[in-house]
Amino acid sequence: MVGPMGVTRREALAGGVALATGAWGAPSLWLPSRQAAPVVVASANGLTSKNGGTVSCVETAFNLMVSGGDVLDALVEGVAIVESDPEDTSVGYGGLPNAEGTVQLDAAVMHGTRKTAGGVACLEGVRTPAKVASAVMLSTDHHLLVGEGAQKFARQMGFQVEDDLNTERSRKAWLEWKRRSDPEHFPDPRKRGGTEVAMEMAREGWFPIEHVFGTIHANAVGPDGSIAAVTTTSGLAFKIPGRVGDSPILGAGLYADGNVGAAGSTGRGEANLFGLCSFLIVEEMRRGSSPLDAGVFALRRVAEKTEARLKRPDASLAFGLQFYVLDKSGRFAGVSTNPGSFAVCDESGPRLAALEVVR
């Protein structure tokens, strides 16, 4: 029997063509079968943060998508574990606040296969900003809502809006940072940059040093070949109120193309924003580069475009920046300016893998 375009049933099966609905005699839609090696790739807190439970972000996302869930929905549920975890001071509830002690959150989601995206920035009072970003994607014709408008939208969509997302730990850290860095409020004669003080506190054990610029990014390719990405953060620790980094910006904090792959970032957002490196990585893969080579290319571009004050005497980058990359076949890589690890979950289970260091 012959189907549309003169394709026989045997030819359809041999060529990987599938019927979306209807019997063979009356097909309603013909689609290419897109099988892939399903995998979730994330920053390390995608495995280490479990919000007091036993299952991580990458495990949750992987299990949901291989059970038939949409790849982006799975990722959003996964990162919600980290956003809700008060022990992760770089994301969501208990994230390190801005210079005025207010937790302001940024997040973005992107469905590369459906060609949709949404984001929020400077959102206050909602523990799970990635879910609000998803609502922006699904319920508006916009890609980014910010500040009071983002909070109003979240409330209208039924999200709980809290007065304060600080935990005792994050507020105590902010007060100490304020004491050390702000002589107008506390009698401290030292006049130093706020980030320098935050790094000093991290070295003393107030919070993990990676949480100064901390974020969670996660991307995935599902069993059907669908590709998506999500990034969510409380931003730079003790940032100037209103500061927005790379995380909610399409092409910087994340980018996903259903025909190519996905990439996303954690670390110094300004360095990534300057080159829109997630977009750059995906475009490099479109040209034929592997995930690893594309990530290395982006970090070398960052080094090329970074001003001298942000480099060490040997010209290497003096900050942390990481990219998490996968292509449509399920190949993946993590690259960084500093040694570290990233999270992976595939059919072999969840694990940490070493980042490729690029100086």
Give catalytic residues, as residue numbers. Answer: 215
- As a whole number of angstroms, the distance between CA 23 and CA 77 comes to 35
Say which amino acid occupies 256.
A
Radius of gyration of the chain (CA): 21
- As a whole number of angstroms, the distance between CA 245 and CA 278 comes to 14
Say which amino acid occupies 139.
S
- As a whole number of angstroms, the distance between CA 98 and CA 102 comes to 5
Backbone angles phi, psi at 357, to 5 degrees: -90, 130
279 close to 322: Cβ distance less than 8 angstroms: no
Task: Specify whether the backbone of 303 is left (phi greater than 0), alpha (psi in -120 to 50) or beta.
Answer: alpha
**120 closest CA partner among 210, 236, 253, 282:** 253
- The dihedral built from the CA positions of residue 333, 267, 338 and 211, taken in this order, carries a sign that is negative
Dihedral angle, C-alpha 197, 203, 205, 206, nearest 10 °: 20
> Biggest alpha carbon distance in the chain?
86
Count the residues in the chain.
359
CB-CB neighbours of 46 under 10 Å: 30
Backbone angles phi, psi at 258, to 5 degrees: -65, -20
H or E stretch covering 43? strand 39-43
What residues contact residue 20 under an 8 Å CB cut-off, 6+ apart? 27, 28, 29, 30, 31
Give the tokens for residue 203: 């070295």
56 close to 49: Cβ distance less than 8 angstroms: yes
